[in-house]
A and B are shown apart, each in its own frame.
Chain A
Amino acid sequence: MLPENHGEIDTTIRACLRDVLGLSEARVAAFQDDTPLFGALPELDSMAVAGLLTEIEERLGILIEDDEVDGEMLESFGALVRFASAHAPR
């Protein structure tokens, strides 16, 4: 089941990817659940991941522990939204 604020989290993650990776609005709007991220977007290196996580924390008001960060939660757009949803205050 999707959390109540899933749509808001989805929109926020798109905005974070746009701002941190310097992507166009059209490009992030076209992201699908299975759009690959880490390893597929050249802009998303490990340094950019650090900035992305901090931006997500700030915009959603959540806390992400660094030891939760792995390739899996960054594998696709959908995986990142699900990861953030699991942390988002309800």
Chain B
Amino acid sequence: MIDQYVWRGGKELMLRFGPSEGPLAIVTLPLFEEANRLRAFAVTLCRALADAGVASVLPDVPGQGESLTDLRSCTLANMRSAMAAAGAALGRSDRNLPYSVALRSGALLDQDLAKAGRWLFAPQSGDNLVQVLDRIRRTSDRLGPGASGKQDVGTPPLVEIAGNRIPARLLESLRAERADGDGDLPQRIVRLSHAFQPADQMVEGSALWRRAEPGNDPTLAALLASDIVAWIAACER
């Protein structure tokens, strides 16, 4: 079902899946070009959760995907307040809060969301996100047919990376942000087994967020969905 939520900068769409009762997961996509590569996968994940009886929502982040909000006007603070508003729009009481499910740099956006816990897949720190974007810009400059990455275009200063015109201030504020750690809330980190970084659970699969053409992996989605369902059940006990 296509629903919508209102935040102080406007209206955004959100997709809703699964039953109207019971535990609810709010799924946050990563920022920028990784969002395009993981969108189909996120929908598959939400459907797998619904099959297991867990409801979920997939909100548009302002300035990303289908959002009508201009990325050039976005700040980290207003992206986070939009995610908080998406959560609030679900009308859950304090005793029945949604669980945050964040993919990659989506874990930089759920900080203001009222939630019962965080489940993070391959979380990416702000520092690493900015490094990866820098690499995309530099390799385009070095190997591309024409420079596709430009710095400091327009007002306010924007950095153009792979077709996204990103405010330099947004990148600067992302740089210092950690993906993990959010107080005393239950948190679970799942990573791909070849990632060599600390995690609560390792899973086999490929990094769809780096794939040249957006792909999907229903097997991995089913595996992650069962991990989320078991983790939510443990949190609710």
The stretch that binds B, out of A2-10, A51-59, A76-84, is A51-59
Nearest-CB distance from B177 to chain A (Å)? 19
B212 touches A69 (CB 8 A): no
- Residues in chain B near residue A54, CB distance under 8 A: 132, 135, 210
- Residues in chain B near residue A74, CB distance under 8 A: 143
B139 touches A19 (CB 8 A): no
Nearest-CB distance from B235 to chain A (Å)? 30
Output the residue of B144, B195, B196, B207 with the most chain A CB within 10 A.
B207
- Residues in chain B near residue A71, CB distance under 8 A: 143
Q: Which of B162, B194, B195, B212 contacts A22 (CB 8 A)?
A: B212
Interface of A is mostly: helix
A47 touches B136 (CB 8 A): yes
- Residues in chain B near residue A49, CB distance under 8 A: 139, 143
What are the interface flags for B104-144 relative to A under an 8 Å C-beta threshold, 1 for contact and 0 otherwise? 00000000000000000000000000001011101110111
What are the interface flags for A13-28 relative to B under an 8 Å C-beta threshold, 1 for contact and 0 otherwise? 0000011111000000
15 contacts between A and B (CB under 8 A): A20-B207, A20-B210, A20-B212, A43-B212, A44-B212, A46-B142, A46-B144, A49-B143, A50-B138, A50-B139, A53-B139, A54-B132, A54-B135, A58-B196, A61-B196
Nearest-CB distance from A13 to chain B (Å)? 13
Closest residue of B by beta carbon distance from A53:
B135
A54 to B210, CA, bound (A): 9
- Residues in chain B near residue A38, CB distance under 8 A: 143
Closest residue of A by beta carbon distance from B138:
A66
A22-B215 CB under 8 A given contacts A54-B132, A58-B195, A61-B196:
yes
Q: Which of B139, B144, B195, B207 contacts A66 (CB 8 A)?
A: B139
Q: Which of A22, A46, A52, A58 contacts B213 (CB 8 A)?
A: A22
Q: Which of A18, A59, A67, A69 contacts B143 (CB 8 A)?
A: A69
- Residues in chain A near residue B143, CB distance under 8 A: 38, 46, 49, 69-71, 74
- Residues in chain B near residue A46, CB distance under 8 A: 139-140, 142-144, 148
Closest residue of B by beta carbon distance from A74:
B143
A44 to B196, CA, bound (A): 25
